[in-house]
Amino acid sequence: MEDWVTIRNLKVKNPNLGTRTIATMLGISRNTVKKALVSEEIPLYNRGEKKINEHIVPFINFIKESFLKKNLKASRILKDMKSKGYSGSQYALYAYIRDILKPIKQDVTKTSPSAFMRYETKPAEQMQYDWSPYTVQIDGNSVKINVHQTILGFSRYKFYDVSLYVTGSDVYTALEESFLFFGGVSERIQVDNATVFVTNASKDNLVWNPRFLSLCGFYGIKPTRSIPSHPWSKGKVESVFSYLETHFITGNSFKSFEDLRNRLKQFQDVHNLELHGTTKQITKVLYEKEEMNFLKPLPINPITGELKRYVGFKEEFRKVTTECLISYKGNKYSVPHYFASKEVWLRLLYGTTLQIYSSKNKLIASHSLSMKKGEVIIDKEHYSGYRNDNKFDSIAVSISRLIKRFAHYTNINKFIENVKVAKRINPAYHLYKIANLFEYYDDSDCIMAMEECFSLNIYSITIIKGYITQQTKPKNEQLNLFNIKLPTANIKRDLGDYKI
């Protein structure tokens, strides 16, 4: 009876654990373990002939789940029960917990104290990440979703995100978004033994997933993992999932996936403004006051001063057709015409949005993913100016765009004037095309292209486009995510293969 909660929690978190291993860990007999795993009901502590209040009886399973498994406080349980129609007194609930459930919990704690041991960390020392699957109602349909959560260990400041799938890309995207939300990273991040993090979870031969290591290296954060059979080492992040389930998931329905994501973010913001039961402080206030300034800064592009983003999740690339389209899962999607016949990266975001990146990892197009087959999804803006149409900005607008974008480039005015002189018949068209082309490339690439124009004394959009796309063409090692060395060509063929 005493070990029922601990035994079942261990088995749920680690299905591969055998009865002998659990018995050894908890110092109990295998028969006790077997009985606990077979029994679906927690053994009630019976103290004499004491009766349970009639108002409590309909909520017994809910109270046991909340107090023994989720470790919720009696005041929280009372609040949840009232929302479910409980009409009894506060005393009746408190008496039931005190006389019936507390002895069970105390005995379990004595048997396995580490199962409930809380590990406190210093400011910016640790963050924890995990995800949890749920089924929710979206537009009247039952949809399986996955909620991602990252939490700072000291302040308990939390970040939530949601995706339809749990691929490596989904997990790393959620992690990166949490780093940007926090404005930095801790010294280390605690994760579990999922394959997106660990390819070999053996205690003696731990092997990290190289993609996860690449992400950690990019942001300068040390990965640590929960040792197999010790799920409580991520208690901070897992306890918050129970709060999420009772306060957000249960009883809610959503109009769309975007509605779900927006309301989850609202829940996140409200939750971060609540008083935390352990720290006794408002989570966001504690984060801003004592943890935020100790986080390690995010990487910055030294040339543009912008935040750098991790791009190692881009596993698929396509070659754009001459019609400015790429294929993905049976459908075609448009990209800006500047990238016709060029190679681009693809990224599926949250399972709902297809993002397309240039070879220099700059986002150039975004489409809602079609669930049908054989469709062609077009963004008309991608064809603006294509094949010399006459719809383009005035020369003043194009000049303003270039000067604003490259105010730090000393030769920008000289470049504009040279274009106007070289293309005196129709300078507005060329400046418009140049300004649009530059939108898809970093400042450094654009400046190199302009410098090349000065050296050649040629200011044609065709020359600029050719130079900037060739100079930014990805190298072979960039196309290979893990820098795996490709075999060198050393192929021998029979001379008969060359007969005409």
Neighbours of 386 (CB within 10 A): 13
C-alpha pair distances (Å), 328 with each of 15, 137, 163, 360, 367: 37, 28, 19, 20, 11
63, 77 contact by CB (below 8 A): yes
| pLDDT in the model for residue 446 | 92
Amino acid 162 reads V
| pLDDT in the model for residue 485 | 35
| pLDDT in the model for residue 147 | 93
* Plot region of 71 (φ>0 → left; ψ -120 to 50 → alpha; else → beta): left
| pLDDT in the model for residue 2 | 40
Displacement of CA 235 from its chain's centroid (Å): 20
196, 214 contact by CB (below 8 A): no
Burial class, 35, CB count within 10 angstroms (exposed 0-12 / middle 13-18 / buried 19+): middle
How far is 1 from 211, CA to CA, in rounded Å?
44
- 343: nearest Cα among 476, 445, 223: 476
How far is 454 from 418, CA to CA, in rounded Å?
9
Domains of the chain: 4-116 (no CATH), 126-294 (3.30.420.10), 316-383 (2.30.30), 395-477 (no CATH)
| pLDDT in the model for residue 150 | 95
**Residue 363, strand partner residues:** 357
pTM over the 0.85 mark = no
Burial annotation 291-323 (CB, 10 A radius, 16+ → b, else e) = bbeebeebeeeeeeeeeebbbbbbeeebebeee
- Which residues neighbour 498 within 8 Å (Cβ) at sequence distance 6 or greater? none
Amino acid 320 reads V
C-alpha pair distances (Å), 173 with each of 25, 168, 288, 364, 368: 36, 8, 24, 18, 17
How far is 338 from 468, CA to CA, in rounded Å?
11
| pLDDT in the model for residue 187 | 92
Q: For the chain, which ranges sit under pLDDT 70?
A: 1-6, 8-10, 12-13, 26, 39-51, 104-120, 203, 227-240, 311-315, 385-393, 471-500
| pLDDT in the model for residue 35 | 79
- 157: nearest Cα among 8, 37, 32, 269: 269
Burial class, 418, CB count within 10 angstroms (exposed 0-12 / middle 13-18 / buried 19+): middle
Phi and psi at 137, nearest 5°, equal -95, 115
- 437: nearest Cα among 339, 353, 354: 339
- For 62, the token pair is 């809910």
How far is 136 from 133, CA to CA, in rounded Å?
10
How far is 288 from 157, CA to CA, in rounded Å?
9
